[in-house]
């Protein structure tokens, strides 16, 4: 991959720098010679790659070599600080790099305060996480942040401190250890596109320190901002137009893609990259096993472009990846790119992000529920589901964010669907404005200039449970519960890590109380970020309750997943059922086949025997959900039924 000239340069650079490193870390090397050897071996295998990326990004800077040396020092220093237990984990993961592809993997995500009050509360909930059989727990941003409005914690004032309301860094470290002892990997956000305006670097920049002003993108007048904005998308148009905020203290415009208190970091400055490497490794050394790379698409800016998904953004992530392979190889990355599907997949690479959210599947599950048609979903599963075999999707139904309809317009037009119109329909449908809609969602960031809008709401409210409970009869309640189980059934039986937005497992409904809170009222995403109601949670144990219905059935699905390795590793085939309302999938590994059938309508759908025969040569099938074995014949699917059959 690298030519001889390049290899010589890389080798020469490293051999010039190593004696300096050895001098700086003399004491540590003498104390732990074995650890140093491991470090050197990993440096040796990853240096060419790191050097190539780093020099492509930064070699034109007059002080390139100074920063390169600084980077290697950071790596060595963070490695020496890495606890022995985690060094052990590094070795385990290097032996089993695809650990996250196991069918035992199951994720949960929650806010610390909303779910359990604080970190001590989360510690107490470990038995609950085990009841759900979670192996992956994503705690939403828990770092030191701004008082008041802080974008749900995504405005970070220190990557090394926990928000004092939630606990301390020591508690976080013990929680990570305790979770690991219980077979659960801790997942945290790495909000690396921006810091809050109260981060030490931002405060220094705002007080006029030029070195720190170069940590961000600051401009003395509107010339550059205007030029950039010609090509930028507005992310939070409700809050401020464009992407810049004027800071009167320094009389400069600062780049703020999201809120005006979230300042975009300037990765064109190698000092920023080096600092963020240390912050990342600090989190890895605290015991975090997966970092969610927040707002990954935005980290590099280039005039004349949309400043999203630029090639340099990929190089940066690859450089972060090479760095963690040297100093904390157990760590893996999850990409949060909620963008066009062509762009989403570009981040998915063993050398970049090993995991990625699957926003397309998420959006199309909702799309299929609204339309009762599975065309777009089938197309996406056929054409866009396959990714690098050493990586995995993280499949989800809901997250703390809004739902954006990120399907490809070209894909849609091949099915005769106009993307723009279809998004308008989906927005109408999920805000409950479309006649007959079962959904109770809210608009998010509706932009009159572009007609763009996204959707907020909990899974249960979007799936019809809220409307059914408040306005309708028990049969509509039943349909809503089935919709919830149906979409979960799909993510639990595909390869990838299924991720549950905690609260969905008991059918949490929208909570409108945020509208009375001045800090939250402008952001409808709070409607689906609610406090866990412990009494409601207890009802999961009481037969006859809705909570029980949803919870128990999800547990059954989880059990099926965990008992059938084929569900995480088998080959995926989308069936042609000659019925647009039913999604049919085959999972096979050569010997066993699992057939998944999902009816997206409120009517019974029949799959004729001759159609099934194309996919199943065996004469009998065993229904994993009901335990019923039968000779191959037509299958009648109940309204919104999700059925799982195995060839017996
Ligand atoms: C990500 C987060 C979102 C946040 C934004 C800015 O998209 O998921 O909640 O508002 O980044 O950090
Ligand atoms: C993300 C996405 C956008 C999402 C937002 C958070 O970066 O690109 O679709 O809505 O941040 O809300």
Instruction: List, chain by chain if needed, residues with CB within 6 Å of any ligand 1 atom.
Output: 151-152, 154, 191, 258, 294-295, 336, 400-401
The DSSP 8-state label assigned to residue 432 in this structure reads T
Angle at which helix 270-285 crosses helix 311-327, to 10 degrees, equals 40
- The ligand minimizing its distance to the Cα of 399 is 1
Average per-residue pLDDT for the chain: 96
Q: Ligand 1: which atom is nearest the Cα of residue 258?
A: 6
Average pLDDT score over residue span 522-528: 96
Q: In the predicted model, is pLDDT for residue 114 greater than 70?
A: yes
* CA–CA separation, 467 and 440 (whole Å): 7
Paired sense of beta strands 136-139 and 185-190, if any: parallel
169 CA to centre of ligand 2 in angstroms:
28
* CA–CA separation, 81 and 77 (whole Å): 6
For the segment 575-611, what is each residue's pLDDT rounded down to a tens digit? 999 999 999 999 998 888 999 999 999 999 999 999 9
Which residues neighbour 196 within 8 Å (Cβ) at sequence distance 6 or greater?
Answer: 145, 146, 150, 155, 156, 157, 202, 261, 262, 263
| Predicted pLDDT of residue 648 | 66
Strand-pair partners of 597: 584, 643
In the annotation, is 294 catalytic?
Answer: yes
234 CA to centre of ligand 1 in angstroms:
14
- The ligand minimizing its distance to the Cα of 298 is 2
Q: In the predicted model, is pLDDT for residue 74 greater than 70?
A: yes
Active-site choice (113, 264, 294, 367): 294
| Ranges 197-206, 395-404, 627-636: which has the least confidence | 627-636
Q: Which residues in 175-213 are b (16+ Cβ under 10 Å) and which e?
A: bbbebbeeebbbbbbbbbbbbbbbbebbeebbeeeeebb
In the annotation, is 602 catalytic?
Answer: no
The two structure tokens encoding residue 82:
């890495």
Active-site choice (113, 308, 336, 511): 336
For the segment 157-183, what is each residue's pLDDT rounded down to a tens digit? 999 999 999 999 999 999 999 999 999
Average pLDDT score over residue span 64-90: 98
Give the pLDDT band (50/70/90) at residue 259: very high
The protein residue whose alpha carbon is closest to atom 11 in ligand 1 is 295
The protein residue whose alpha carbon is closest to atom 11 in ligand 2 is 295
Q: In the predicted model, is pLDDT for residue 221 greater than 80?
A: yes
The protein residue whose alpha carbon is closest to atom 8 in ligand 1 is 401
Helix ranges, 510-620 (H): 534-538, 546-563, 566-569, 609-615
Average pLDDT score over residue span 4-10: 95
Strands (E), 294-420: 332-335, 355-357, 392-396
Percent of the chain with pLDDT over 70: 100
295 CA to centre of ligand 1 in angstroms:
6
For the segment 428-461, what is each residue's pLDDT rounded down to a tens digit? 999 999 999 999 999 999 888 888 899 999 999 9
| Predicted pLDDT of residue 241 | 85
Q: In the predicted model, is pLDDT for residue 108 greater than 70?
A: yes
Q: In the predicted model, is pLDDT for residue 618 greater than 80?
A: no
* CA–CA separation, 247 and 258 (whole Å): 15
For the segment 287-299, what is each residue's pLDDT rounded down to a tens digit? 999 999 999 999 9
The protein residue whose alpha carbon is closest to atom 12 in ligand 2 is 401
297 CA to centre of ligand 2 in angstroms:
10
Average pLDDT score over residue span 467-496: 97
The DSSP 8-state label assigned to residue 371 in this structure reads H
For the segment 304-333, what is each residue's pLDDT rounded down to a tens digit? 999 999 999 999 999 999 999 999 999 999
> Is there a contact between 36 and 22 (Cβ–Cβ < 8 Å)?
no
> Is there a contact between 324 and 334 (Cβ–Cβ < 8 Å)?
no
- Judged on CB neighbours under 10 Å (0-12, 13-18, 19+), 343 is middle
Q: In the predicted model, is pLDDT for residue 619 greater than 80?
A: no
Percent of the chain with pLDDT over 90: 94
| Predicted pLDDT of residue 285 | 98
* CA–CA separation, 524 and 514 (whole Å): 8
Q: Ligand 2: which atom is nearest the Cα of residue 294?
A: 7
Does the reported pTM lie above 0.85?
yes
Instruction: List, chain by chain if needed, residues with CB within 6 Å of any ligand 2 atom.
Output: 235, 295, 338, 401-402, 404, 454
To test ligand 1's pocket by mutation, which of 114, 139, 153, 154 has the most ligand atoms within 8 angstroms of CB? 154
> Is there a contact between 12 and 4 (Cβ–Cβ < 8 Å)?
no
339 CA to centre of ligand 1 in angstroms:
13
Long-range contacts of 219-225 (CB under 8 A, 24+ apart): 219/244, 219/252, 219/253, 220/251, 220/252, 220/253, 221/253, 222/253, 224/253, 224/303, 225/253, 225/255
SS (H, E, C) 165-230: CCCCHHHHHHHHHHHHHCCCEEEEEECCCEEECCCHHHHHHHCCCHHHHCCECEECCCHHHHHHHC
């Amino acid at each position: 991959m690298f030519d001889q000239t390049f290899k010589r340069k890389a080798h020469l650079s490293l051999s010039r720098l190593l004696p300096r490193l050895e001098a700086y870390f003399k004491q540590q090397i003498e104390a732990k010679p074995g650890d140093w050897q491991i470090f050197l071996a990993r440096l040796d295998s990853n240096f060419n790659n790191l050097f190539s990326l780093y020099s492509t990004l930064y070699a034109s800077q007059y002080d390139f070599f100074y920063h390169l040396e600084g980077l290697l020092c950071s790596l060595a220093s963070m490695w020496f600080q890495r606890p022995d237990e985690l060094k052990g984990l590094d070795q385990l993961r290097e032996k089993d790099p695809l650990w996250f592809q196991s069918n035992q993997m199951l994720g949960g995500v929650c806010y610390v305060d909303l779910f359990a009050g604080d970190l001590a509360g989360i510690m107490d909930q470990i038995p609950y996480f085990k009841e759900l059989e979670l192996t992956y727990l994503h705690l939403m941003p828990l770092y030191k942040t701004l008082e008041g409005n802080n974008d749900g914690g995504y405005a970070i004032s220190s990557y090394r401190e926990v928000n004092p309301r939630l606990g301390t860094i020591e508690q976080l470290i013990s929680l990570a250890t305790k979770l690991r002892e219980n077979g659960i990997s801790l997942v945290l956000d790495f909000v690396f596109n921006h810091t809050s305006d109260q981060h030490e670097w931002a405060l220094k920049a705002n007080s006029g320190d030029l070195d720190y002003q170069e940590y961000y993108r600051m401009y003395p007048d509107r010339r550059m901002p205007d030029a950039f904005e010609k090509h930028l998308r507005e992310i939070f148009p409700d809050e401020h137009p464009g992407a810049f905020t004027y800071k009167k203290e320094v009389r400069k415009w600062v780049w703020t893609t999201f809120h005006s208190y979230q300042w975009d970091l300037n990765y064109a400055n190698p000092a920023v990259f080096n600092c963020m490497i240390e912050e990342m490794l600090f989190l890895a050394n605290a015991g975090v096993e997966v970092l969610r790379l927040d707002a990954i698409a935005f980290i590099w800016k280039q005039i004349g472009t949309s400043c999203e998904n630029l090639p340099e953004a990929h190089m940066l992530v690859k450089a972060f990846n090479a760095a963690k392979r040297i100093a904390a190889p157990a760590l893996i990355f999850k990409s949060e790119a909620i963008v066009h599907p062509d762009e989403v997949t570009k981040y998915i690479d063993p050398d970049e992000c090993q995991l990625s959210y699957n926003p397309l599947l998420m959006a199309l599950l909702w799309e299929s529920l609204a339309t009762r048609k599975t065309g777009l979903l089938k197309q996406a599963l056929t054409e866009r589901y396959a990714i690098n075999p050493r990586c995995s999707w993280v499949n989800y139904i809901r997250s703390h964010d809004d739902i954006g309809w990120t399907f490809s317009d070209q894909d849609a037009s091949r099915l005769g669907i106009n993307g723009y119109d279809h998004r308008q329909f989906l927005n109408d449908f999920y805000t409950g404005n479309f006649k007959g809609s079962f959904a109770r969602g809210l608009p998010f960031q509706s932009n009159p200039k572009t007609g763009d809008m996204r959707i907020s709401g909990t899974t249960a409210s979007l799936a019809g449970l809220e409307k059914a409970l408040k306005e309708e009869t028990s049969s509509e309640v039943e349909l809503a519960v089935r919709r919830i189980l149906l979409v979960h059934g799909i993510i639990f039986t595909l390869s990838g890590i299924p991720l549950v937005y905690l609260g969905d497992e008991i059918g949490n409904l929208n909570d409108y109380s945020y509208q009375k809170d001045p800090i939250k009222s402008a952001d409808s995403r709070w409607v689906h970020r609610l406090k866990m109601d412990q009494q409601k949670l207890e009802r999961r144990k009481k037969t006859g309750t809705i909570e029980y219905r949803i919870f128990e059935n999800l547990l059954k699905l989880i059990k099926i997943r965990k008992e059938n390795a084929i569900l995480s590793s088998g080959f995926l085939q989308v069936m042609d059922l000659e019925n647009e309302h039913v999604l049919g999938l085959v999972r096979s590994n050569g010997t066993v086949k699992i057939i998944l059938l999902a009816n997206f309508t409120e009517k019974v759908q029949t799959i004729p025997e001759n159609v099934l025969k194309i996919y199943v040569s065996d004469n009998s099938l065993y229904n994993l959900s009901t335990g019923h074995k039968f000779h191959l014949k037509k299958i009648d699917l109940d309204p919104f039924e999700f059925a799982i059959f195995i060839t017996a």
